[in-house]
Structures are given as C-alpha cells and as structure tokens.
Amino acid sequence: MLDFTINEEICISCGQCASDCPSMIISMETNLPTIAADLEQFCIGCMHCVAVCSEGAVSILGYGPEEGISLKNAAVAGPKELELLIKKRRTIRNYQDENVDPALIEKLVAVASHSPSGHNDRDLLYTLVDDKGIIFDLREEAFAGLGRLIDAGKLPEGMEMFIDIMEAWKTSGKDILFRGAPHLLVVSGGIDSAAPLQDSIITLTTFELYAQACGLGTVWNGLLTLVISELVPSLKTRLGIPDNHEIGYAMGFGRPALNYERTIERKAPKINRVA
Ligand SMILES: Cc1cc2nc3c(=O)[nH]c(=O)nc-3n(C[C@H](O)[C@H](O)[C@H](O)COP(=O)(O)O)c2cc1C
C-alpha cells in the first residue's frame, strides 16, 4: 500500500510528479495525480513525486514534504567547496586513540544512506564497530586466523603479501589490516537486490566524503575486506554479516592524528573521447 496522497487544496495540477515518475505510474487523467491500484506494485519508492512538487502537495509511503529539507534558498555547497572537499580527501593511516561521538557516527551513516541505489532497492546492512575496544578484539581474531593459515601453508596463491603483514604485526605491532582506526564500517548488500556491490561501494564513497567534511579520517580497508570475506570466515560470523549478503567493502574511520597541509596534483585522467 503506497498511501499516495495529494493535498487537493494546494495541488496545481502541473503534472510534474507524473512526468518525473521513473515507473510512469502516476496518471493526470482526472487533473489530480493518481496511481491505479493495479500499478502500485511498480512503484520503486524513489519519492521523486514528493521531491519535485513545487507546492508540497504530495505524500507517499508515509512521507510528505515536511520530512524533507526545503531546497528553496538552501545553502548547498557550490562547485568550489565540493572540488576542495574531493581534492583534500586523503586516506588516513594515523588515528587518535579515542572513540568518535556516537551521535556523529549515527549521523554519518544516516547521511550516507541517501546514496543512489540500483532499482532503489536499498537492501544494505551497515555493520558498525563504534567502540575501539571491539576493534582490539577483532584485530586479535584477524591476526590469529591469518597466523593459522600461514602456519598451515594454506594461504591462497596470490595472497603472499599477508606473510609480510603478519610479520609486521608480530615484530613491531604494526597494524596494516585496520591501520589503527578506532572504528569500522562494513557495508554489505542483500544478494537478491539489483546491485549489492555497487550500492555498497557508492554508499561508502558518500560516507567517506561526508566523514572527512566532518573532520574525521577514513581508510578503505581492502586487505581487511579480503580477510573478512575470504581468509578468516569466522570474522564475518563475528561481525554478524548474514550469509545472504555480499560484502561490499570495509572502511576504517576515526579522528585523524595528523593534518594535511595542501592538496596534491594527479596525472591527467585518461579520456577515451568518442567522436
Ligand atoms: C578499493 C580500495 C582499497 C584500498 N585498500 C587499502 C588498504 O587495504 N590499506 C590502505 O592502507 N589503503 C588502502 N586504500 C587506499 C589507497 O591506497 C589510496 O586511496 C591511494 O594510495 C591514494 O591515496 P589517497 O586516498 O590519500 O588519495 C584503498 C583504496 C581503495 C580505493
């Protein structure tokens, strides 16, 4: 049941909601927007009808214009600010040994959850470690599992780099897996959704930018993702990630222990221009 409701007193019958509906299920036949009962199943819940209405007359799925932020005269970051945020983003591998305020962590996840999603399925799970004490336990478990694999000679081909990673941990306590981040976010997607992997990565990309805009540091934990999803499966269980979920990626985050003084230049992007 979509609960598609039009405030008839303020609707101006402009038809914008109908023309922007990706499923093309909103009809203007009666001059007021309607969705036929047999077409409701085709709604993907994107809520463009609510977002586009200039009068604030549309509600659907229990959400109306009051729930959103009005974009009339809103101070949205301009291209200059966004360019600077994108260019100043750095992978952080040095963290302060302290927990981030749980309210801020919750806000980061809530904002990141607004990312685009294939077919608007939004079937993502945000597995969150918001206490650095738990990271300590996970690190012990990850290195113990890796150690067992290495000792038994069962490290899969192509993953020999984990021998050096293990060595660095044993000899100098250098944590190349978690990079010393006090928090971890693993985003996974339901395997039956349209694009579990892509949804997870896009959401983490949004999370990273917003977290860095809030003064936090982040690191894409590629090595740890391999450990969780392939090498030490007990970690996936410990994290509570369901079997019917595909792991997108793991990202460490926390308060950085250093500042970067400038942006850097990258090689010009390789463009395949189609004539
Ligand atoms: C998919 C992916 C996986 C990554 N895995 C790791 C990792 O396991 N450990 C690490 O320290 N950095 C990791 N990084 C960070 C890259 O090394 C980093 O983005 C690159 O060196 C450029 O630095 P910058 O992010 O500061 O621009 C990863 C980045 C990406 C996009």
Q: In terms of pTM, does the model score above 0.85?
A: yes
- pLDDT tens sequence across 29-57: 999 999 999 999 999 999 999 999 999 99
Distance set, CA 58 to CA 9, 16, 28, 120, 230 (Å): 11, 11, 13, 19, 47
State the architecture of 82-254 in CATH terms. 3-Layer(aba) Sandwich (3.40)
Cβ(127)–Cβ(239) below 8 Å:
yes
Tokens 């199943």 belong to: 41
Per cent of the chain over pLDDT 70 is: 100
- Average pLDDT of the segment spanning 91-100: 98
Of ligand 1's listed atoms, the one at least distance from the Cα of 221 is 8
- Average pLDDT of the segment spanning 165-189: 97
- Predicted local confidence at residue 157, as pLDDT: 95
Sorted by where each begins, the domain ranges of the chain are: 5-67, 82-254
Residues with Cβ within 8 Å of residue 218, at least 6 apart in sequence: 91, 92, 181, 207, 208, 211, 212, 251, 252, 253
The residue contributing the CA closest to ligand 1 atom 20 is 91
Residues with Cβ within 8 Å of residue 232, at least 6 apart in sequence: 141, 142, 145, 146, 149
- pLDDT tens sequence across 203-236: 999 999 999 999 999 999 999 999 999 999 999 9
Q: Rounded to the nearest whole angstrom, what is the distance from the C-alpha of residue 128 to the centroid of ligand 1?
A: 20
Topology annotation, domain 5-67: Alpha-Beta Plaits (3.30.70)
Burial zone of 95 (CB within 10 Å; 0-12 exposed, 13-18 middle, 19+ buried): buried
Q: Rounded to the nearest whole angstrom, what is the distance from the C-alpha of residue 39 to the centroid of ligand 1?
A: 45
Site residues for ligand 1, CB cut-off 6 Å: 90-91, 93, 179, 219-223
Per cent of the chain over pLDDT 90 is: 100
Cβ(258)–Cβ(94) below 8 Å:
yes
- pLDDT tens sequence across 80-89: 999 999 999 9
Residues with Cβ within 8 Å of residue 164, at least 6 apart in sequence: none
The residue contributing the CA closest to ligand 1 atom 8 is 222
CA atoms within 13 A on the CB side of 64: 11
- Predicted local confidence at residue 174, as pLDDT: 96
- pLDDT tens sequence across 122-133: 999 999 999 999
Tokens 């932020």 belong to: 69
The residue contributing the CA closest to ligand 1 atom 5 is 222
